[in-house]
Amino acid sequence: MHCQTLVLGAGIVGVSTALHLQARGRQVILIDRDEPGSGTSHGNAGLIERSSVIPYAFPRNLGALLRYGLNRQPDVRYSPLHLPKAAPWLLRYWQQSAPGRLAAAAADMLPLVQRSVEEHDALIEAAGLAALVKAKGWIEVFRNPALFAQAKQEVKGLARYGLHYEFLEREQLQAREQQLQGDVVGGIHWLDPKTVSNPGGLTRGYAALFVQRGGQFLHGDASSLRQVDGKWRVDSQRGTLSADEVVACLGPQSAELYAPLGYRFPLGIKRGYHMHYATRGDAQLQHSICDTQGGYVLAPMARGLRLTTGIEFAASDAPANEIQLQRCEALARKLFPALGERLDDQPWLGRRPCMPDMRPVIGPAPRHKGLWFNFGHAHHGLTLGPVTGRLLAEMLTGEQPFTDPAPYSAARFD
């Protein structure tokens, strides 16, 4: 069975890439071992994050480094056994987080972030998924007056990005979200982002649109990829598939494909958890809430309130560890006392694929004709899936890219 292009991975990045290639006339087959939207795309905080113009950087402040070193913070946790293995990647991440390099990363990522909402909007309308999306932004809350004052100054420094926001003092915040209590001193309401009540459902809706437009989705094994007589072959439920081109959109599993081909990309994994909760009485949240100090997001979802944690550095295949979730849950119950019982039997564990220079890998493989990459979206896979799918499709089909793709080139690591 032959087609023009195979897309490996049916998360938000892979599905979006398949849709954009399809829209440019490519015959595409989408391959995944699971159902679309079952992996990392299922478990995020549901933010289409137009306001994140500065990438998540490694802390540079000595005091913060010492606090994290004690391994008692709710927003970042590490496994002591994993730390020696992760140390070279963390050092590289710390180096790339220096002010000048961080500013360069922000400049390189800005064209993608700026188009993120409009690219989603087009697919949401075409797929009839408007019921899953709200244009109410999200609210960042603060429990420390000094940190709130510092955040205000930092936000004012983002004026050139044209972001829309409102500063909320304590009374204004509580008027907007009446159920918030505890020691909150204020917040910032980011107005540009959109929120999704079922991120996995959104991805599956995009996949259904791909099939509706004539594409095929098949279960298959991406790790079986090999090149034979100039064609790419993959094993699937329908037998062996062959194609002229293959696009690898495998997120945290990307190394399973590129490592056997001889590539050594510095892909790191930041683990994270989520849990759904009921609410007591008729209490509800109107917006997604991010507790900056706690490093968690509390978001209204179709299943209930979803609490998503910050970063855990541990072996990708290590068993789940509830310490971080328990710390964040304790803080969330003080912030939102109406948080009820857990609705999931076990915490969901996800893996964010991160590059130390805070840019994804988008473009052709340096040493294999017909092989393309689109992975490494870190904390913003949901946000950037459609826009990076567009960029990859423009490059592959010879169309003029909407932005210079050089910053995301795989060759920068080769």
Q: Could you please report the per-residue DSSP string of 345-396?
A: SS-EEEEEEE-TTS--EEEE-TTSTTEEEEE--GGGHHHHHHHHHHHHHHHH
Number of structural domains found in the chain: 1
| CA gap 167, 140 in Å, rounded | 10
Q: Per DSSP, what are the bridge partners of residue 47?
A: 195
Cβ atoms < 10 Å from Cβ of 66: 10
| CA gap 63, 66 in Å, rounded | 5
User: Can you tell me whether residue 236 is helix, strand or coil?
Assistant: strand
Burial class (CB in 10 A: 0-12, 13-18, 19+), 182: middle
Q: Per DSSP, what are the bridge partners of residue 312?
A: 77, 271
pLDDT at 414: 73
Element (H, E) at 298: strand 296-301
DSSP 306-354: EEE--EEES-TTSPP--HHHHHHHHHHHHH-TTEEEE-SSS-EEEEEEE
pLDDT at 156: 92
The CATH number linked to 235 is 3.50.50.60
- The separation between the first and the last C-alpha atoms of the chain, rounded to the nearest angstrom, is 32
255 within domain boundaries: yes
Tokens of 203: 């991805």
Among 305, 333, 337, 293, CA closest to 148: 293
Burial class (CB in 10 A: 0-12, 13-18, 19+), 228: exposed
User: Can you tell me whether residue 53 is helix, strand or coil?
Assistant: coil
User: Can you tell me whether residue 273 is helix, strand or coil?
Assistant: strand
105 within domain boundaries: yes
388 within domain boundaries: yes
In the sheet with 194-196, reading across from the earlier edge strand, the strands are 47-48, 194-196, 133-134
Q: By residue range, what is the domain housing residue 113? A: 1-57+97-131+197-266+357-414
Q: What is the pLDDT along the chain (414 residues), one digit of tens a residue?
A: 899 999 999 999 999 999 999 999 999 999 999 999 998 899 899 999 999 999 999 999 999 999 999 999 999 999 999 999 999 999 999 999 999 999 999 999 999 999 999 999 999 999 999 999 999 999 999 999 999 999 999 999 999 999 999 999 999 999 999 999 989 999 999 999 999 999 999 999 999 999 999 999 999 999 999 999 999 999 999 999 999 999 999 999 999 999 999 999 999 999 999 999 999 998 999 999 999 899 999 999 999 999 999 999 999 999 999 999 999 999 999 999 999 999 999 999 999 999 999 999 999 999 999 999 999 999 999 999 999 999 999 999 999 999 999 999 999 997
| CA gap 258, 141 in Å, rounded | 40
185 within domain boundaries: no
pLDDT at 182: 87
Residue 368 CA neighbour count, 13 Å, CB half: 27
| CA gap 382, 405 in Å, rounded | 20
219 within domain boundaries: yes
345 within domain boundaries: no
Element (H, E) at 195: strand 194-196
| CA gap 279, 271 in Å, rounded | 26
11 within domain boundaries: yes
Tokens of 174: 């509580």
43 within domain boundaries: yes
Supply the pTM of this predicted model. 0.96
pLDDT at 302: 96
